[in-house]
Amino acid sequence: MPLDPVIAYVLDLMASNGAAKMSAGTPQEAREGFRAMTVGLRDPATLAQVGEVVDRTVDGPAGPLPVRIYRPGTDGPHPTVLFIHGGGFVIGDLDTHDDHARLVCRDVDAVVVSVDYRLAPESPFPAGLEDCLSAYRWMVDAAAELGGDADRLAVAGDSAGGNLSAAVALAARDAGSPLAAQLLIYPGVDFAEDADHPSRVQNGEGYFLTAEDMQWFGQHYLQGSSTMDPRASVLRAPDLSGVAPAVVGTAEYDPLRDEGEAYADALEKAGVRVVRHRYDGLIHGFFGLGPVSPACAAAVAELCADLKALLAR
């Protein structure tokens, strides 16, 4: 299917303006550029309205860990969702993904806890994952206090956040307290050197996220750790049985498309319930493009509706 025309226009505009690849600069330059592209260009009027937003810190493995809590404007108790932002483990923060967390809060009708985990290269693997696990454990203990339902806990994330969400879901299973659901939005799940995913080549240039960007992110994140470690390459986990039911969303023109779909296949093979969608015509990052693209907005609504259905009583 051809590219969504709105996305094609945005990509052409970026190319004509000489937008540099994230991998062409330093991590700090990439962070600043990403914030300018997200927070800087965001129209506050497009943000999903929720009942309450509160910033606080919780105990993390390296000290106070910032989280942002979103509560719906409806009566509870609600499902409670840990949201983990994307950004290749190197960029992104609570503000760049404020719109994502708000959408999950409103459309899933859930309390959302968004976590500001440590980033690479300053804090390489597994620091970010350890922060997310700390936030998850805090969320479990605080669900009732948050206005949530301790029996309906989930994790959700995009891109690198999808990777971390899948890793948290596996850890929750191993701890004997599996989550009720997981939402994996175009997740990157395979750092292995022998990985064979054709979409990395087919979509490796010209669709926002590039093959060079992915290599750059992986080098900063792993810094010598094994590319086969299943906490990073969750697709390589030896046993996926018993993990939370999953909603998996991929995009036709995303370099990460094939590995996300391979993870959905592996979950299904392990007997896990999977609701899956490939969104033709869309690119990596579509979850944040709803305000400019009706096709992206429809995809976001469908993914949130599927997560809501998995969390229904």
DSSP 195: -
Q: In angstroms, rounded to a whole number, what is the distance separating the alpha carbons of residues 114 and 135?
A: 9
Contact 203, 186 (CB under 8 A): no
Distance separating the N- and C-terminal Cα atoms of the chain: 37
Cα radius of gyration (the chain): 18
Please list the residues that pair with 183 across neighbouring strands: 156, 247
From the candidates 99, 158, 213, 254, give the one annotated as an active-site residue.
Answer: 254
Annotated catalytic residue, options 114, 159, 165, 199: 159
Q: Respond yes or no: is residue 254 known to be catalytic.
A: yes
Closest CA to 307 of 185, 189, 190: 185
Q: Are 204 and 73 in contact (CB under 8 A)?
A: no
Clarify whether 107 is annotated catalytic. Answer: no
Q: Is 256 in a helix, a strand, or coil?
A: coil
Does the annotation mark 284 as catalytic?
Answer: yes
Active-site option among 85, 284, 293, 306: 284
Contacts of 103 (CB under 8 A, 6+ apart): 48, 287, 290, 300, 304
Nearest to 290 by CA among 245, 248, 249: 249
Give the active site residues. 159, 254, 284
